[in-house]
Structure 1
Amino acid sequence: MKYIFCLGIWICFVLKDIYLILCFSIIFSIYLYIRFKKKFIVLLWFLCSFLTLFFFPSYHPAEKGTYEIIEIKNKYCIARNEDTKVVVYGLDQANFGDKYQLDEFENIYSLKNIHQFNFESYMNKNNIYECTNGKENQCIKKSDSIKSYIFQKLKEKPLCLLYLYGIYDPDSINLLARLSLPFLVCMHILEKILNTIISENKTKFVCILISILYGYLFTFKIALVRYILNQIVKYIDSESFCITSTLLLFLFPYSSCDFSYILPFGLGWIQKYIKKQNKLASFIFIYSLQFIYFHEINLLALFFFSFFKNINVILFLSSFFIDISFLNIQMPVFHYVPNLIFYSLMILLFYYLIHNQIKYSILILFLCSPVYSSYLNPFFHVYTLDIGQGDCTLIVEPYKKSVVMIDCGQNLYRNNVEKIILPVLEDLQIHTIDTLIVTHEDIDHSGGKEELSEKIKINQIVEDSNEEIKVNYTFYSLLPERNIKDENDSSIVSYFQYDTCSFLWMGDASISIENQLLQRYDLDVDVLKLGHHGSRTSSSFHFLEKIDPTLGIISVGKDNKYNHPSSKVISNAHLLGIDLLMTKEEGMIHIFTLKKFTFFVTATGLFGMI
């Protein structure tokens, strides 16, 4: 019964919404009554599920006041004023417990691309919505605590910051940053030693005290809190998994879907319900989670985890006395985003394992699915990447027969190729671009061409409308001969069609080019990427009315200095019944077609059918 209760509470925390929790609670209570025939159990369940509603902190907008530093990361800090937390940038000398006078705040914003880490969503999930740029002269009180003293002494030791505080540069993440908290491994070793000297209960008590002291001096990570709770609960119940997992949810309500919670939670269920093939099931579970959460797998760490875990402990203890930051162990990884084939085989495998069976043919198919499954994708894909104020579109033919990219814009303050385009290509397992179309020579369209060519194989670069696009579906560069007034008017205009869906990509072409297109072609368009980021110099009412697209896409950066998109263009689209999606609001826009059906999904989770 404990396991069923634990699962029910976990589902409540995953659902979060009060109405969804209420509906689930009623259905689950009926199941409990049918199974156990006891009203007391149903009553207890309603009480527990009702309590979950009070453990999600309500949002309080940040206001001018005194904020205390409670968490320090590589490029930012988190500060708190009563129930409100904010992200603070620019405080290189900040320490735990320091107090700052913060006055102005803005909403956290980050670029949003499907399958990529999104800082805005990550912070919002933890009930943090605002940020500010702090200055050292805003500090009104420096902390004199033991915790701040220790941090000041250790802040020049990178491995100490990594192991003790979880502070590392995400751009240079290595094997050490991905391994488990070495302190917990040390505690397990200490437990074994103490059990040979003193009683088991005294050992637990000593370990609890040491762990609480460690958390006070450094940070209470979820793994550490789990260990402490586990030791405390063992005084009451030797089978502590369910109680510990449930208590952890009430302490960390936003962690219900985090890797740090799901991994031990899932392994606990495997220990309970899969007896015969326990080790194999655990291996499959860990293998799956690496792809699901990180979209990559480190085979070295997977197969030699125990070895690296022990090495990690040695490095952890050594980092206090000698500088070993030169041991930057980079991870050879394999990238893959799980798809329907992967999930289907995973579910099928666990079904057989729960019934004490193993089908080796399915196991082999599952383990190899990251290698072959992307070549079995029957959809035609069009990805409009969120690169800020710029353009980059990726077009992938079914079964990965061809890959076309339209533009690869750069940014003066961010390397789009390194930070966005290459990670997206890695996750999609794209190692060759068949054709790169550079619409024109503006940095926000062509700026990444040279760097991208150095990092990935490109078979053809098209920079002129007269060049043929070498794909096996309808793909034309329209209006090769035209009258132009400026560089924007020289933009390659791409028209392509797959199945029954047609697309028109305008580059930065102006209204003059639009009029020439209408004079020369009878265009039937389902999806239009509006010209010049929605500027008033493009997308005239007459042009939008004539081509009559169902969906319009605007690739544009938030708060750009050009004030794109134009309110007039947006108003015209709405008057004509054209649905608009903008990257600054929805992030990456992914359109995929199969036969007569065309769908879209955005990085913010918006889904629809065209």
Structure 2
Amino acid sequence: MAIVKSFSVGNGDMCYIQHNSDNFSIIDCDISSENKERIISEVKEKSASKGITRFICTHPDDDHFGGIEHLDAAIGINNFYVVKNKAIKVNETNSFKYYCNLRDDLNKAFYIFKGCKRKWATYGDQERGGSGLDFLWPDTENSHFKSALLEAEIGLSYNNTSAVIRYSIQNGPSFLWIGDLETEFMENIFEDIDLKKTTIVFASHHGRASGKIPNSWLEKLDPQIIIIGEAPSRHLNYYTGYQTITQNRCGDITMECYGDKVHFYASNENYVSSHLTNEGGSSFPNYIGSITVETEYTL
């Protein structure tokens, strides 16, 4: 059994994966004084039994590494996965300075790119199994990505330096994180990224219309569920025609992966989903329903 959890952190992102191997992955963070105690205590508890803990930062925006200094103090970030960059900011927060220190620390940083391999992340060995992670983007030779890096290096924009990360479980569900990639950028790199059917997709840019996943991508991904993050409702795209879960309404989402089932739980005890089936999940409070994983195929 594996657990994927997306925290409700306001206009930011933070997920963790409690792998069904000796691995624990955190993808982005946005830790504030309001959520610091509950998030850090849970992450410490859930990662304590794992031999490998890694932090993956999709891109250098504060709402994706906010409070990283508190997380490092609590668990020690020794495996920092990051897109190689030289991003600058006019107004440097403490979290950005901390991010830069980790990013530039060759003893802790592992630079991710399309197709990169890393022991215990993308494959296992006799000591421990892999994590089921694949890094689909960036292609560091791609001209659109190079332009995005330049914008980050002059402090102009950071969204399109985002990594695309896929997590899959053999004979079970798969998940996709897209960071804050913008719609036009995704359209521009469509021919250069290997997309396949994916069970659960986290909408880019917290579900904002500016990061609406293009139809060309959605046809390849064919998601069963799209998770829309937190942002003012007037900025969101609700992906008509697709089944969605919106964190503005449900709060934290815990996804329990068991065989070909994904059981969903919400921190908002009043949240009700009309498109999930009742499979009797009981591992966590506030069960809201389940899905059966559809067979993956190649288009």
Normalised TM-score (structure 1): 0.34
Cα distance in structure 1, aligned partners of 2:256 and 2:234 = 27
- Note if 1:492 corresponds to 2:163: yes
Q: Structure 2 residue aligned with 1:607, among 282, 289, 292?
A: 289
CA contact (8 A) 2:6 2:14 kept: yes
Q: Structure 2 residue aligned with 1:512, among 184, 187, 195?
A: 184
Matched with 2:260 is: 596
1:452 counterpart SS class: helix
- Identity rate, percent: 22
More helix by share: 1
Cα distance in structure 2, aligned partners of 1:511 and 1:430 = 38
- Note if 1:547 corresponds to 2:165: no
Instruction: Give the letter for the 1:547 counterpart.
Output: L
1:314-335 Cα shifts (integer Å, max 9, x gaps): xxxxxxxxxxxxxxxxxxxxxx
1:213-245 Cα shifts (integer Å, max 9, x gaps): xxxxxxxxxxxxxxxxxxxxxxxxxxxxxxxxx
Residues 517 and 592 (structure 1 numbering): CA distance in 2 closer, same or farther, change over 3 Å? farther
Residues 517 and 403 (structure 1 numbering): CA distance in 2 closer, same or farther, change over 3 Å? farther
Shift of 1:435: 0.8
Instruction: Find the structure with the greater CA-based Rg.
Output: 1
Matched with 1:422 is: 40
Instruction: Give the letter for the 2:240 counterpart.
Output: H
Shift of 1:529: 0.2
Matched with 1:210 is: none
- Note if 1:404 corresponds to 2:25: yes
Cα distance in structure 1, aligned partners of 2:135 and 2:2 = 19
Residues 441 and 415 (structure 1 numbering): CA distance in 2 closer, same or farther, change over 3 Å? farther
Shift of 1:446: 0.9
CA contact (8 A) 1:510 1:537 kept: yes
CA contact (8 A) 1:407 1:439 kept: yes
Matched with 1:525 is: 198
CA contact (8 A) 1:410 1:445 kept: no
- Note if 1:580 corresponds to 2:244: yes
Cα distance in structure 2, aligned partners of 1:496 and 1:457 = 23
Matched with 1:384 is: 6
Residues 404 and 429 (structure 1 numbering): CA distance in 2 closer, same or farther, change over 3 Å? closer
Unaligned runs of 5+ in 1: 1-378
RMSD: 2.3
Instruction: Give the letter for the 2:184 counterpart.
Output: S
| Within-5 A mapping of 1:178-257 | none
Cα distance in structure 1, aligned partners of 2:189 and 2:263 = 27
CA contact (8 A) 1:556 1:564 kept: no
More strand by share: 2
Residues 431 and 598 (structure 1 numbering): CA distance in 2 closer, same or farther, change over 3 Å? closer
Cα distance in structure 1, aligned partners of 2:196 and 2:207 = 20
CA contact (8 A) 1:410 1:443 kept: no
Residues 452 and 608 (structure 1 numbering): CA distance in 2 closer, same or farther, change over 3 Å? same
Shift of 1:423: 2.4
User: How many residues are matched?
Assistant: 218
Q: Structure 2 residue aligned with 1:474, among 128, 132, 144?
A: 132
| Within-5 A mapping of 1:323-362 | none
Instruction: Give the letter for the 1:602 counterpart.
Output: A
2:5 counterpart SS class: strand
Cα distance in structure 2, aligned partners of 1:420 and 1:513 = 36
Residues 513 and 608 (structure 1 numbering): CA distance in 2 closer, same or farther, change over 3 Å? same
Cα distance in structure 1, aligned partners of 2:234 and 2:31 = 17
Instruction: Give the letter for the 1:582 counterpart.
Output: T
Cα distance in structure 2, aligned partners of 1:517 and 1:406 = 23
Instruction: Give the letter for the 1:428 counterpart.
Output: K
Cα distance in structure 2, aligned partners of 1:468 and 1:415 = 37
Shift of 1:455: 1.4
Residues 541 and 478 (structure 1 numbering): CA distance in 2 closer, same or farther, change over 3 Å? closer
Structure 1: 4+ residue segments shifted above 4 A:
none
Larger RCO, structures 1/2 (Cα 8 Å, 6+ apart): 2
